[in-house]
Structure 1
Amino acid sequence: MNAFAIKQGKCNVVQGDVSAIPFSDATFDYVSAFETVYFWPGLVKCFSEVNRVLKSEGIFLICNESDGTNAADEKWTKMINGMKIYTSKQLVAALKEAGFTEIKTYSNAKNHWISIVATK
């Protein structure tokens, strides 16, 4: 997918491919991914791209409503082509391989929610 930008007021909306983020190295202090890593092709490659566009000591926040431990959530992967639900262990391993250093996980076991904060 080619990147494109829409300028509206003070906000630019940019659509692109997370495996080839259309920004220069060390552009951002923070990057977030809410309910999206389920669809990212090749986590290590995508996480490496996030790492690339983060400034030194930049922070990457991942928030998911499925932590990969609730069998009932698998209904979504059957209905939505290309969706994969990851456990925190899988996400942490991919983040480490992509070069993130400090990684903290937070979870809500009752609701199977997960948040991960990774520092470059």
Structure 2
Amino acid sequence: MPTWPEGNPARPEGDAGRAMLARMNEGHHEVLAAWGLSLIDFAGVSRALDVGCGGGANLVRLRERMEGGHVTGLDYSELSVEVSRRTNAEAIAEGRCAVTQGDVAAMPFEDAAFNLVTGFETIYFWPDVQAGLAEALRVLAPGGQLLICNEADDTNESACELAASVDTMVVYAGEQLVCLFEGAGFEDVRWQRHPQTGHVAVVGRRPLSVR
């Protein structure tokens, strides 16, 4: 069995997981999310999905950047779904938000259901990255955007040391993610690293027509 940091970031559980989700709703995670979302053109975005929604704070941040519309969260962890639903209880009651338990490699959504898909600090833990990206492409409407945003890439020594000790975690270079996006069928793929924080973001778009 892999040895995880307390709380298990791949699938939060127990009291330690609950505390970790609370930390992930604020602090440097908030800085990461604000920067990543600043790279997205929200014009016309009415249906957004956050994959690996954790404690649910990014669902709030997405709604703040959308004029109306609906935001959905997806997470593999039962605890994350519980916490996300509590964080977004008012919006859920008003029909502006939903949180679902599920697997990124087999999302329980219809084709072309969203204009935007985001994933913050989650792709490290996807067992099948190609399948996850293929699913993101499937659930995006033509022209829709995918944003993957990570706190660290392969230049971060501490992140790489952690990944080396856990056989289910991978820290990616920006160039690797670009290749994976393009291999899944995304176009206009671009990546950047924040010059101060070292945060990494990759954005791609579903083609308007499938070749």
Same fold (TM over 0.5): yes
The structural deviation recorded for 1:82 is: 1.2
Local SS of the residue matching 2:136:
helix
* Range with greater deviation from structure 2 (80-89 or 38-47): 80-89
Could you tell me how far 1:114 is from its partner in structure 2?
0.3
Structure 2 stretches of 5 or more lacking a match? Answer: 1-75, 207-211
Task: Give the 4+ runs in structure 1 shifted more than 4 A.
Answer: 78-81
Q: For residue 75 of structure 1, what is the aligned residue in structure 2?
A: 161
Counterpart of 1:17 (choices 87, 92, 103) is 103
Could you tell me which runs of 5 or more consecutive residues in structure 1 were left unpaired when the two chains were aligned.
Answer: none
Q: Aligned equivalents of 1:92 and 1:98: distance in 2? A: 10
Larger Rg: 2
Aligned partner (choices 137, 141, 153) of residue 55 of structure 1: 141
Aligned to 1:41: 127
Alignment RMSD, CA only?
2.3
1:71 is displaced (CA, Å) by: 2.0
| TM-score, normalising length: structure 1 | 0.87
1:105-120 superposed matches below 5 A: 105-120=191-206
Fraction of identical pairs, as percent: 36
- Counterpart selection for 1:100 from 186, 191, 194: 186
Q: 2:118 aligns to what SS in structure 1?
A: strand
Which of the pair is proportionally richer in helix?
2
Q: Name which of structure 1's ranges 13-22 and 80-89 shifts more when overlaid on structure 2.
A: 80-89
- TM-score using structure 2 length: 0.51
**Aligned pairs, how many?**
119
